[in-house]
Amino acid sequence: MSEKIDLSNYVPSEDEEFMNTNQRAYFRSKLVAWKNDILREARETLDHLAEESANHPDLADRASSETDRAIELRARDRQRKLISKIDAALQRIDDGTYGYCEETGEPIGLKRLDARPIATLSIEAQERHERREKVYRDE
């Protein structure tokens, strides 16, 4: 991608070819920015946890601190999984499969991708997937 595209005012449109160069660049920049935000937050969390590791003489303070720490670490674990999904989406952009439903091969839709850039299923396929999950969960 040697060609630079100005994405400052660009909004993907249904009127253009699906997953053209501009759309791929738009979603790549959105995904990279999201990943960078998560990594920055993770660094801030690690810094905060390092500062917070002071020994609390009061048991209630120590318990509260441990609970906060556990919640923070759980959130970081979810974000770690999210980073792998972002990386997978970036890989799909590179290999030309980004924006297409893994189940049907049809375009996912720009509005869905804009709201959830790591989406791998169209809305219809996602709904079918969730209905199947619910059926198996209810049994």
Residue 47: HSE in the Cβ half-sphere, 13 Å Cα cutoff = 6
Name the residue with higher pLDDT: 50 or 69.
69
C-alpha closest to that of 72 among 31, 42, 103: 42
- Domains of the chain as residue ranges with CATH: 18-98 (1.20.120.910), 100-138 (no CATH)
Q: DSSP assignment of 27-81, as one string?
A: HHHHHHHHHHHHHHHHHHHHHHHHHHTPPPSSHHHHHHHHHHHHHHHHHHHHHHH
Q: pLDDT band for position 1 (50/70/90)?
A: very low
Distance CA 3, CA 97 (A): 21
Q: pLDDT band for position 51 (50/70/90)?
A: low
CB within 8 Å of 75: residues ≥ 6 apart = 45
Tens-place pLDDT, residues 89-130 = 999 999 999 999 999 999 999 999 999 999 999 999 999 989
- Cα 41 to Cα 34, 47, 71, 98: the distances in Å are 11, 10, 14, 26
Distance CA 55, CA 75 (A): 23
pLDDT score, position 2: 39
